Amino acid sequence: MNLPVFGLGTFRLKDQVVIDSVRNGLELGYRVIDTAQIYGNEAQVGQAIADSGVARDELFITTKIWVDNLSKDKLIPSLRESLGKLRTDRVDLTLIHWPSPGDAVSVREFMTALADAKTQGLTRAIGVSNFNIDLMQRAIDVVGADAIATNQVELHPYLQNRKLAEFAQRQGIALTSYMTLAYGKVLSDPVIVEIARKHDATPAQVALAWAMQLGYAVIPSSTKRENLASNLLATSLRLGDDDMARIATLDRSERLTDPDSLAPAWD
């Protein structure tokens, strides 16, 4: 399947805030919604989708299996619970959110269970998130590279993750960039600001367009309707080779998400 390149993230959005964000996004034309079991907002996302009147077949919904649910006896039941909250009989993409801490559940066990969920029609596609090269290779060894739709990772101008990106590209696995704006830090970067001014664009549009031009999918979130609308315009912004080269120089391996209990040894 072809992974959609632009969607709406819901990380850290809860209760009425996430309902409003998803509702606004759908009204503006977003059709890709990214959530996760640990976000605690699947039911609200499901409510916003149901209330929107947008046909299910027009939507692409992603959720992620939390580490507590990775074992073969828990993964599929937990996904069924997510489907109930999301008010749908299947999602379009299911990811392993983080690798199992300390390999408590083997990659073989959870990737086999995830593939089984796809066979059962609970998800159209499967993938991983926050996997380093070693973990990606182990997942490939279980289900094959063709079965892995994406690896969703932190990736932004300050953390360009080139080694991982090159490995994924060789395997034909798409990367999804989360935190593409680095919690907003890149929005005041002089290089990004200057490129934005040149294109009569916003710094956020420049960062998002940069990631998409490199072939990555992006899932920015916002609680403000005007920012949701503005971000969507990044899909039509085309940066020049010189712009891309200047942004390439901003990489400083600045990782903002690195939870001790979950993170693998990054490449």
Binding residues for substrate: 97
Bridge partners of residue 154, in order along the sequence: 178
Binding residues: 97
How many whole angstroms separate alpha carbon 134 and alpha carbon 144?
Answer: 14
In contact, 75 and 119? CB cutoff 8 Å = no
Our answer to whether residue 158 is catalytic in this structure is no
From 30, 39, 178, 216, active-site residue: 39
- CA distance linking residue 114 with residue 125, whole number of Å: 9
Give the HSE-up count for residue 176: Cα atoms under 13 Å, Cβ half-sphere: 28
User: Which residues are designated catalytic?
Assistant: 39
